Amino acid sequence: MLVEQRVRELQQLLQNASYAYYVLDNPIMEDSVYDRLYRELQELETQYPHLVTPDSPTQRVGEKPATQFSSVRHNIPLYSLENAFNIDELKAWEQRWRRNAPGFVLKALEKDKGNKGDKEAQEQFKTQYSPTPNSQLPTPLYVCELKIDGSAIALTYENGLLARGVTRGDGVMGEDITQNVKTIRSIPLRLQVENPPPRVEVRGEAFLPLDVFEQINQERSQKGEPPFANPRNAAAGTLRQLDPRIVDKRRLDFFAYTLHVAGRDDASVYQTQWEALELLQQMGFKVNPHRQLCPTVQEVAEYYRYWDTERLNLPYMTDGAVVKINSLSLQEQLGFTQKFPRWAIALKYAAEEAPTRVEEIAVNVGRTGALTPMAIMRPVQLAGTTVSRATLHNSDRVAQLDIRVGDTAIVRKAGEIIPEVVRVLPELRPAGTQPFQMPTHCPTCSQPVIKEGAVTRCVNASCPSILKGALEHWVSRDALDINGMGEKLVHQLVDRGVVDSVADLYNLNAEKLMQLERMGQKSAEKLVQAIAASKTKPWSRVLYGLGIRHVGSVNAQVLTQKFFTVEQLAAAKTTDIESVYGIGAEIAHSVYDWFRIPANQSLIARLQAAGLQLAGEAVEESRQNDASLPLAGKTFVITGTLPTLKRDEAKELIQKAGGKVTDSVSKKTDYLVVGEEAGSKLDKAQKLGISILSEAQLLEMASS
């Protein structure tokens, strides 16, 4: 009993010391004392292994490297933030959410018509949130936080213990890096609160302090290894190291900025973003100390301007300010667009510029055949990254800049935008330089090019560069998402003549793939499986993957909701296509023209023969009118985590059975399908008297 008591005492002492050192930046014991106590705990836990607990300080660093990271689904999606690059764009964002707010909240408040109390609530909201100068908005309205230039992480705590750490990934799926996360001393292994909630989700940014980044690069240079380009890339690369001992040596730090507590609506734990940040601190997290409450957008602008200069004195990199509406209730009511939360925005700092010398002007050929001139430059540090290439857009831009090999050019990069040349300094131009001329023949296939306005284009459908671009687009995440089919492999397939069309991918087998460089039997078999799995991707993803000019992923979804099959879209007139909401004349003509080309018609026939989905998996409207289907005419909402079905799978099941799935509960909802950790939707459904279903009951109804 005395040994167990000593082990628990040592664990608590070391946890307190670590929290004081890494989070509070206020050490409470000397390093030598910490080391002695740590060694004593190690010896006791080795002698009595049954006393080791998951949150013990000795469990931060794993003994064995991982063989790979598994891909996992986020419990709560990690959305990107919309960007603003100046105060005018910030004000425009504020006007948008104010203008939208009444509609969203009135919809949420909607009850029986004629309800007096409901009308009073609506009028109260109109008065409070109307975008008039005299409106009385909640004070303070905004929370401003520095946007840390690192790598986003999602943390899950179960009963107070760190259970999982996941990279952001694509926001829906990420990689499980729990062992690496445990090496970050500013992330608590156990929440520092009594009686923690059953589940807590924390979002934050892992980053490398600048002094640590410089030290790592010095060590890499001494070993003859290439230095990291910037702290952000170094942090992201460190998190994906298979050996947690390497991660531990790199001394990553962490700021927490988002908190989700299961059952928060019922428990009323916190009501604002500011309170959430304070609660994160109480739980043992490091929260950026430079956050600020701002009653109006004017104060936000002052905060932004102040840190535009002061950020140079920070010990870490920041590239802007994150502005969030403070009220969590208003956040919930505003909700999300397809990509971003409506209640937050990243206010980025102005583009950084730097001079460098142009060493070459190359020309790239893209998947649409467009020839894009590219300045190859002496490498220069720009906005935290090493830049050696910058786009020159097209021949008109080249002529406007009068850029030449040997020129000193000013290069700019804003946010995640590709670096571009802003201007050249002709006074520094060497003698004897010649103006650059766009090629008259394709640099890849040597066929003559044509000029379409400012764009120079190769129109040879067999051009290897066009084919490579088309294949890279086809296998990309938003299209057919063929895992393992990277750029190098695509280039090999084209250069060796194995593939002449995206349809040829579906004729590949393991034997053909094993003839390529660095392609073993197991890798080849996995790739064949990934190609086969892409056949199940929906019609909208196939349409986007075809790479029709001006048809992005969102436009593809809109078009496939109107044209349920490829035959319907191929037969449509431009006026039919243009009549679809959100589709303009340029897109309509592009789609119409694409389907008139014989080679494209042949491609569609080959994809159909290969088994691709060129029709809607479920034509919702027609199914809902089919009275023979078990769920015809019924409206469902899904909430919580279901035992076996993913959200998309449950939605597809309902739609195939003739039902309709919506996101919000209303009096028109027939059934609420409930899983674990159901939120406020369950409360609302119960108040409205809506029938509640388990997954098992849903499966039984759908199969009856």
Q: How big is the CA angle at 95 (ends 89 and 101), to the nearest 5 degrees?
A: 135
| 348 is known to lie in a ligand binding site | yes
Q: What is the DSSP string of 392-426?
A: --SHHHHHHHT--TT-EEEEEE-TTPPPEEEEE-G
Q: Is 31 annotated as a binding residue?
A: yes
Q: Are 638 and 670 in contact (CB under 8 A)?
A: no
Q: Establish whether 324 is an annotated binding residue.
A: yes
Q: Which two tokens stand for residue 438?
A: 């766009």
146 forms beta bridges with 321
357 annotated among ligand-binding-site residues? no
Is 82 annotated as contributing to ligand binding? no
Q: In the beta sheet, which residues pair with residue 344? A: 324
Report CA-CA distances (Å) from 183 to 56, 129, 252.
Answer: 12, 45, 8
- Comparing CA positions, the residue from 101, 66, 265, 98 lying closest to residue 175 is 66
Rg (CA), the chain: 29
458 annotated ligand-binding residue: yes
DSSP 8-state code for residue 553: H
Clarify whether 451 is annotated catalytic: no
Does 205 belong to an annotated binding site? Answer: yes
Nearest to 207 by CA among 247, 255, 277: 255
Burial of 452-470, coded b for 16+ CB within 10 Å and e otherwise, reads: eeebbbbebeebbbbbbbb
The whole-angstrom separation of Cα 206 and Cα 150 is: 6
Helix (H) or strand (E) holding 215: helix 210-222
- The answer to the question of whether 144 is labelled as a binding residue is no
Cα 344 from Cα 575, distance rounded (Å): 38
113: how many CB neighbours lie within 10 A of its CB? 7
Q: Is 79 annotated as a binding residue?
A: no
Quote the CA–CA distance of 566 and 575 in Å, as a whole number.
17
Q: Is 80 annotated as contributing to ligand binding?
A: yes
Active-site residue among 91, 116, 147, 182? 147
70 is known to lie in a ligand binding site = no
Consult the annotation and say whether 663 binds a ligand.
no
Using a 10 angstrom Cβ sphere, with 0-12 exposed, 13-18 middle and 19 or more buried, the burial of residue 201 is middle
Give which of 171, 174, 96 is closest to 345, Cα–Cα: 96
* Catalytic sites, residue numbers: 147
Residues in binding site = 31-35, 80-81, 145, 168, 205, 324, 348, 442, 445, 458, 463
Residues in binding site for Zn(2+) = 442, 445, 458, 463
Residues in binding site for NAD(+) = 31-35, 80-81, 145, 168, 205, 324, 348
